[in-house]
Amino acid sequence: MQIKQIGQIGIPVKDFDRGVAFYKEKLTLPLLFSTGNLAFFDCNGVRLLLSLPEREEFAIASSILYFTVEDIQASYDEMVKNDVRFLDEPHVVAKMGDTETWMTFFSDEEGNTHALMSEVTVS
């Protein structure tokens, strides 16, 4: 057996409608479809699943999703206008030769922490 790729990432939500609205309206991810208490979004070929937890042990915090963007400052500014709550501002987290990795962390409406990240070539 060999794992080839991630096909889907599940994100637990406490309030389904609020969670769907955040990813659709504030992050502007395309909603593929919704059925019952499941909503599927496309993130450039990776499917994000929002759902009410089936069991209590699934209600614990999710993993951090790192969303890649080309211009982290412009993306940050746009998301701030969309009332996304950031935990910090865009900042350098690593320098490797002529490349810098920039990040900024934010929370969704359900308390899950995610990040924007960008690789910037420095001249």
* Mean pLDDT of each 10-residue bin along the chain, 123 residues long: 75 93 96 92 93 72 83 96 95 90 91 90 87
Strand locations in the chain (E): 8-12, 31-35, 38-43, 46-51, 66-68, 85-86, 91-96, 99-107, 113-121
Whole-number Å distance between alpha carbons of 107 and 63? 12
Taking the domains of the chain in order of start, what are their residue ranges? Answer: 8-121
pLDDT of residue 91: 95
List the CATH code of the domain at 8-121.
3.10.180.10
Q: What's the pTM value of the predicted model, to 2 decimals?
A: 0.76
pLDDT of residue 58: 62
pLDDT of residue 3: 59
What are the tokens at 38? 């499941």
